[in-house]
Amino acid sequence: MGMGKELYDLSEQARTLFELANEILGFRITDIMFAGTDEDLKQTRVTQPSIFLHSVILANVLGDNFKPEMTAGHSLGEFSALVSAKALSFEDGLRLVAARANAMQKACELQPSTMAAVLGLDDFTVEDICQRISDIVVPANYNCPGQLVISGTIAGVDKACELLTAAGAKRVLKLNVGGAFHSPLMEAARVELEHAIVNTEIKAPVCPVYQNIDAKPYTDPALIKHNLIAQLTGPVRWTQTIMHMLEDGATSFTEVGPGNVLQGLVKKVNRHVITESASLQ
């Protein structure tokens, strides 16, 4: 069954939100989500809004069964986390996600760039090697201990892959992505999205939102906006986010949205913590 289709079929509330999304986006994203090919879903203008919609509509439909004491989202998921924490409306969140997708697509077209996953090395070694390379290459996603994604120019990432392998990485894997997300090469997208974020209403959330840029909890709307703008060119500090949430009293994590990748990453930070997927059942 297509992405989000079960949600659409089970809930009148979900159907209303999906149809509202079609209106806001100006095309029927539900047709692509429910019946599109993998190739259709890989289009940036489709991928990011689709993941966002699945996450926030599921959280919305859960109603009183979903009352987080703290929220966080990985990269794009930060927008879903803000909507779930009622800092951002569904409509504004979707508009920002669509603007983000379009801005990132344009930035990708300005300069060929890429990303690579580095497995089995400590963060310091990866950071040190990236700093020694003259081309642009930076740590982009601190996913969990021993898994860090780097991002930059093709030459920079290729050189880093070579040096990281020599430094003892278990595996270095080039990723099939459109560009160097969470790196200085997204500066054009950051500038474009900054205008949209500045002009969007963000309220104080009902619970702290741990933001990617520094892994710390925020409730101040002005600071949330500042961090959201910085996110496009800065790293996703997911490892540090989970560590901070655990230090602040988190005992269980519920992943809301498609897949269960984040649960796996949380377990790599602390294997004893309880994780689950949000479900309508």
Active-site positions read 75, 182
Buried b (16+ CB within 10 A) or exposed e, 29-67: bbebbbebeeeeeeebbbbbbbbbbbbbbbbbbbeeeee
Q: Cα–Cα distance between 115 and 138 in angstroms, integer?
A: 9
| Closest-CA residue to 33 (of 3, 60, 63) | 3
3-state secondary structure 11-68: CHHHHHHHHHHHHHHCCCHHHHHHHCCHHHHCCHHHHHHHHHHHHHHHHHHHHHHCCC
Q: Is 211 exposed, middle or buried (0-12, 13-18, 19+ CB in 10 A)?
A: buried
Q: Is 93 exposed, middle or buried (0-12, 13-18, 19+ CB in 10 A)?
A: buried
Q: What are phi and psi of 44, to 5 degrees?
A: -55, -40
Q: Cα–Cα distance between 96 and 54 in angstroms, integer?
A: 16
Partnered with residue 52 across adjacent β-strands are: none
Amino acid at 101: A
Query: Measured between alpha carbons, how far is residue 281 from residues 7, 58, 63 in Å?
Result: 11, 12, 13
Partnered with residue 147 across adjacent β-strands are: 119, 144
Q: Is 160 exposed, middle or buried (0-12, 13-18, 19+ CB in 10 A)?
A: buried
